[in-house]
Amino acid sequence: MLVLGRRIQARFVRSVKDEESAELLRCFRLVMDSLCWLFSGYVQLVELVFRQEHFLQLLMTDDVESGTAVMSVLQALLRANSSVLHQIPEETLHPILDELVYKLSASSNPVTGSSASRSLLLMVESSPCIVQTMDMRYKGLRSLLSKQWAGKGFDRDLNRLLDILYSSSYQKQELQRLHRAACVIQAVWRGFQIRKRMRKLPGAVTSLQRSFRAKRHQEMKQQKRRKEEEELRERLKLQRLRAMREFREKQLALLEIVHAGQMDKHMRDTREMSALVIQKHWKGHRHRRRFLLQKQTLKQYKAAVTIQRAALRFLKKRRRIRESLSPWRKHQELPDEERLRLQQKVDAHLQLHPVRIF
């Protein structure tokens, strides 16, 4: 609908003939009225209209009649949902304020001035924080309103807007005074803290020296431990090399002792012994890994059994509670004496009141 209004507005601005302009203006006002009727029934659409770029484009026009119609839509939006200004971001709100202030400063038409001032009045009444924004962004707005638009037929709205702006200026001065007082209090407090810290400075130096000595002692201790670890690593390496050398020397001595005809048998026995040692270590590793896997599986099985037992206990408890709350669901069978007594009552009633068939 905003896109349709934008297209009609563009054709209306470019139109030359009076009849075509009148028809386009009528259609544009009809679209704006339809938009007002739509969001009056669906308040959640007000924020979406504000966020649309097409709405800002509709507002940014120099034409008096279409601009007045768009500002009327803006006023209807604020009346339908006055809290919408707290929900839209500043980058959406500031261009709308800029355009309204621009219309007040650049136009001399009383209709445009009345609509723009009424729109600004509704905005500052809906969100007081906008007043501070206007004070910071538009420095000469109060003098512009009082000099250019006084006595133009909408003094009531203009005076209310000026009162709000001047009251915000007083509040701003009061805030500045409070800010200066807070700065003085903070300066005095910081000075007190610094003097207190200066009195504690000798103790702080002692504490700093103590922490420095402790840190240096810790670093020396770590360095000593690293040195011992390196020495142990080198010693183990030398022991390993010495053991390998002794083993090779032993092998060479055995080869010298063994007869040449027994060399093949000796090598075969050595290989078999090595294979047995490797197999023994591999089987031990495999059994340990299998045991760890079985241990994890057994742990999971026990956990599953515990969970199932707890679930069955919970379901049994729930069934017992449900049965205690609804005793009428239980099937209660009558004893034979009670059934015979009730049957006799029914027969006696039928004898006293026989069924008549017409």
pLDDT digits (tens, 9 = 90+) for 303-353: 999 999 999 999 999 998 888 876 555 555 667 888 888 888 888 888 887
Domain boundaries, the chain: 2-175, 214-258, 266-321
Class of domain 2-175: mainly alpha
pLDDT at position 223 over 50: yes
Q: Are 46 and 81 in contact (CB under 8 A)?
A: yes
Q: pLDDT class for 358, splitting at 50, 70, 90?
A: very low
Instruction: Dihedral sign for Cα 225, 229, 232, 238, please.
Output: negative
pLDDT digits (tens, 9 = 90+) for 18-39: 777 788 878 877 887 787 777 6
How confident is the model at residue 40, as a pLDDT? 73
| Residue whose C-alpha is closest to residue 90's, from 130, 131, 141 | 130
Stretch 94-115: mean pLDDT: 80
The pair of three-digit structure tokens given for residue 81, joined into one six-digit string: 């949902």
Supply the mean pLDDT for the chain: 80
pLDDT at position 161 over 50: yes
Single-letter residue type at 21: S
3-state secondary structure 184-232: HHHHHHHHHHHHHHHHCHHHHHHHHHHHHHHHHHHHHHHHHHHHHHHHH
Stretch 40-68: mean pLDDT: 75
